[in-house]
Amino acid sequence: MAMPSKLKGFNLFHNGENFVGKIPEVQLPKLTRKTEDYQGGGMGGPIKIDFGQEAIQMEWTAGGLMKSVLQQYGTLKHDGVLLRFAGGYQAEDSDTFDALEIVVRGRHTEIDLGTAKPKDDTAFKVTTAASYYKLSINGEDIIEIDFVNMIEKINGTDLLQALRTAIGL
């Protein structure tokens, strides 16, 4: 019987800065397709029409005051912040680890410093909206989405190549 791979440890990098030990939690980006129901005459029921990827965001918690994160708030470039999540996953029936890497480029859209109370936890939450997303496992690119350049690669196949060609890009 095969066992599922579970996250055994992770690290987060912010513009190349190593945040080891400083990030207690990361809400990894959710991937959601934008769809609409369509049912034409003679169809027995609706189908979902795919209109591409919904917005992507990554939410994470900083364990305490981190000046370098706050300094990135309000960056003028859509991809002014680079986040890299590196996670080690292992199944209980294996002695090897799988490396999951998620790279997000975007900007911080929300920083919630929480409640200020002496001698209480000073963790704060950050929401980063992505204009670029890439998920790799053991160095193999699985999903890459680049909104600005209209690229959507799944398992090495660019699903938007034909559309870019059709519109002259």
pLDDT at 61: 98
pLDDT at 136: 98
Is 74 a residue whose pLDDT tops 80?
yes
Tens digits of residue pLDDT in 45-64: 999 999 999 999 999 999 99
pLDDT at 77: 97
Is 1 a residue whose pLDDT tops 80?
no
User: Which H, E and C letters describe the chain, residue by residue?
Assistant: CCCCEEEEEEEEEECCEECCCCCCEEECCCCCEEEEEECCCCCCCCEEEEEEECCEEEEEEECCCCHHHHCCCCCCCCCCEEEEEEEEEEECCCCCCEEEEEEEEEEEEEEECCCCCCCCCCCEEEEEEEEEEEEEECCEEEEEEECCCCEEEECCEECCHHHHHHCCC
Task: Quickly name the fold that domain 5-26+55-166 has.
Answer: Pnp Oxidase; Chain A (2.30.110)
pTM for the complete prediction? 0.93
